[in-house]
């Protein structure tokens, strides 16, 4: 199986790719491969040598659930990735075929997060984040809105 390695799970392209020679130097990374049984790319997150999250780029939920439960028995949840534009993805989290919540991620031209919206299983907004850049286009702050309390927080990154 041929793996490609990335620093991002939501976009897998030349801007987010990591050379396989540098993997041992990474605290975390994402590896993706084409799964012919599903006809889609499958990804796994590695943190300190352990794979803990599985991603499916597209696919049929029933087929994904069956495949996931047979191959990844020790990982209860999985995420699907849907590219809705060149710089926007919807990431949905499932346990079996039960929807647990979603993220909508909007990125800049460098495929870095600009805005992230977190939703629960009823698709109610839980959190909205904006990442703010300085004059050198380096992200240095984030603004977080919590709709349940109407609280707005700004943090240095």
Q: What is the pTM of this model?
A: 0.89
- The confidence score (pLDDT) of residue 121 equals 97
In the chain, which residues have pLDDT < 70?
none
DSSP, collapsed to helix, strand or coil, labels residue 105 as: strand
- The confidence score (pLDDT) of residue 138 equals 76
CATH of the domain at 128: 2.40.128
Q: Which domain holds residue 50?
A: 4-156
Can you read off the two tokens belonging to residue 30?
A: 């994402």
Number of domains in the chain: 1
Can you read off the two tokens belonging to residue 153?
A: 């927080």
DSSP, collapsed to helix, strand or coil, labels residue 62 as: helix
- The confidence score (pLDDT) of residue 56 equals 97
- The confidence score (pLDDT) of residue 24 equals 81
DSSP, collapsed to helix, strand or coil, labels residue 85 as: strand
């Amino acid at each position: 199986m041929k793996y490609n390695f990335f620093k991002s799970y939501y976009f897998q392209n030349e801007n987010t790719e990591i050379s396989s020679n540098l993997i041992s130097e990474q605290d975390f990374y994402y590896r993706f491969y084409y799964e012919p049984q599903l006809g889609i790319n499958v990804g796994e997150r590695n943190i300190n040598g352990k794979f803990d999250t599985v991603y499916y780029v597209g696919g049929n939920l029933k087929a994904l659930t069956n495949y996931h439960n047979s191959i990844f028995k020790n990982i209860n949840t999985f995420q699907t990735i849907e590219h809705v534009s060149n710089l926007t993805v919807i990431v949905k989290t499932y346990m079996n075929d039960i929807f647990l919540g979603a993220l909508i991620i909007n990125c800049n031209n460098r495929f870095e997060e600009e805005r992230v919206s977190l939703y629960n299983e009823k698709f109610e907004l839980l959190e909205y984040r904006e990442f703010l850049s300085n004059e050198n286009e380096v992200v240095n702050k984030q603004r977080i809105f919590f709709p349940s309390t109407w609280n707005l927080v700004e943090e240095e990154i």
